[in-house]
Amino acid sequence: MKLWEGGFHKEPARVTNDFNSSVSFDSRMAEEDIEGSIAHAKMLGECGVLAPEEAERICAGLHGILQDLKSGKLQIDPEAEDIHTFVEEKLTARLGDTGRRLHTARSRNDQVAADLRMYLKKECKEILQLLKGMVQVLCKRALETKDAVMPGYTHLQRAQPVTFGHHMLAYAEMFLRDMDRFRSAGKRMDFCPLGACALAGTTYPINRERTAELLGFSGGPVRNSVDAVSDRDFCLELASCISICMMHLSRFSEEIVLWCSWEFRFVKLDDAYSTGSSIMPQKKNPDIAELVRGKAGRAYGDMISLFTMMKGLPLAYDKDMQEDKEAIFDAVDTLKICLSAFTPMVATMKILRDSMRAAASEGFLNATDCADYLVGKGLPFRTAYRITGDLVGYCTEHRLTLETLPLEVYQEHCNQFGPDIYEAVSLDHCVSGRSIPGGPAPQNVEAEAGEILKSIGP
């Protein structure tokens, strides 16, 4: 029997059952469903809606089902309509009419909304731990490479010298913002919809605050019963947070793919976190980074599916909303597996300092510093900019750099140049001189990494 078959006189077609069933994916919320049912039964017993001994029997029966599922003694029936039906049927099989009392003052509408919030709250916590691990690795790599000079880029063109450590902390800051977004999303989903029933609440004298308390919903009950069962903002927001985080991972992946190519040779991936070619033995492919980059599109697809599914729905619950779970579950799973693979890849990759410094030595990354040198001698910046541009043109024509350009040539272009120009345009000086807050100076990298590690805790 379906829970809803009482008013029907004809069995549903097989295709209707198969198409309508959600147990294949909502079964991952079995523990949350049972926990919610235990809290509901306990509350009903405390309010006198159920006899205390009935509530106790129901709670004990639900605990038994949960233990049997965890031990493998009980398997979820793939023919069940959904996880709620499966649990209630098993409880009724064990307790008879007492089990049938569990659904008093409850609907599957508020039940599934509660299950999903509880499940995603746990997932948010797991994601936060994974992100914390990523940030810790980035800070560690930053401290190791606080003085490793590399080219900084704009438009993917060499621009100014920075350090690899400074670059790593740019991603750490992105993931810190992601952590803040997940915490904020978790806070907004921390309200209990139970007691809203189908959409209009119930005439039973229940205690919604007590149910919320038993289930650890710090925000208490959802205030409006219609909103309680029709809201999926918490799924949309979580999917958005995941998409932004996946975008950060995808950008990082793109750089790693570039860096480990022969054209860059800035990093070398550990053998344990890369793969080879079936016909080209010299190849070492950054497959993890490439897959993460690709999976960002998958997460975006999940987010768009959720927004599209919700955009035209009238209040309150509609069957369309069954589509929320596969999309948000997939988005969560995608981010978690990407972080689980990406973090150790970053932790173990070798930083090729010499290659990065050689790249920074080319491309006139110290041209701005040369112009700033002349500004320090009293020239307007635009005048200094033009003179430096002429020097860069001369160096390009004669295959020189600003560090190897003879002093007499400097002075031919401007008599303000002195022997100290060579210190001013040295890469180490260019980096260490940018010591204002947020700059790439090694002491800044060390301080920023320390502040981040302190803020996220051990």
DSSP track, 69-134:
HHHTSS---TTSS-HHHHHHHHHHHHHTHHHHGGGTT--HHHHHHHHHHHHHHHHHHHHHHHHHHH
Tokens of 385: 């900019």
Q: Residues 305-311: what's their mean pLDDT?
A: 97
CATH of 362-456, one of 2.40.50.40, 3.30.390.10, 1.10.40.30, 1.10.3720.10: 1.10.40.30
Q: How far is CA 159 from CA 151, 332, 425, 444, in A?
A: 7, 37, 14, 20
Tokens of 319: 């069957």
Q: Which of 98, 103, 74 has the alpha carbon at shortest distance from 6? A: 103
| Cβ-based neighbours of 13, under 8 Å, separated by 6 or more | none
Tokens of 266: 């800035």
Amino acid type, 11 = E
Q: pLDDT-based confidence at 11, cuts 50/70/90?
A: confident
Q: Angle formed by the axes of helices 30-47 and 83-95, to 10°?
A: 50
The whole-number pLDDT of residue 361 equals: 85
Q: Compute the distance between CA of residue 277 and CA of residue 160 in angstroms, rounded to an integer.
A: 36
Q: Is 220 left (phi over 0), alpha (psi -120 to 50) or beta?
A: left
Same fold for the pair 5-104 and 109-358 = no
Q: pLDDT-based confidence at 5, cuts 50/70/90?
A: low
- Per the CB < 8 A criterion, the answer to whether 215 and 113 are in contact is no
User: 5-104 is classed in which CATH architecture?
Assistant: Orthogonal Bundle (1.10)
Tokens of 217: 């919903």
* R_g (Cα) of the chain, nearest Å: 31
Q: Compute the distance between CA of residue 286 and CA of residue 270 in angstroms, rounded to an integer.
A: 10
pLDDT at 12 over 80: no
The whole-number pLDDT of residue 281 equals: 63
Q: pLDDT-based confidence at 428, cuts 50/70/90?
A: very high
User: 109-358 is classed in which CATH architecture?
Assistant: Up-down Bundle (1.20)
pLDDT at 16 over 70: no
| Cβ-based neighbours of 103, under 8 Å, separated by 6 or more | 3, 88
Tens of pLDDT along 143-152? 999 999 999 9
Q: Residues 110-117: what's their mean pLDDT?
A: 98
CA atoms within 13 A on the CB side of 220: 4
Helix (H, G, I), strand (E, B) or coil at 194: coil
- Catalytic residue numbers? 155, 277
CA atoms within 13 A on the CB side of 333: 10
Q: pLDDT-based confidence at 10, cuts 50/70/90?
A: low
The whole-number pLDDT of residue 22 equals: 86
The residue behind tokens 């991972």 is: 249
Mean pLDDT of the chain, nearest integer: 94
Tokens of 360: 């920074």
Q: Where are the domains of the chain?
A: 5-104, 109-358, 362-456
CA atoms within 13 A on the CB side of 189: 27
pLDDT at 158 over 70: yes
Name beta bridge partners: 157.
154
Torsion angle in degrees (nearest 10) through CA of 249, 255, 261, 266: -120
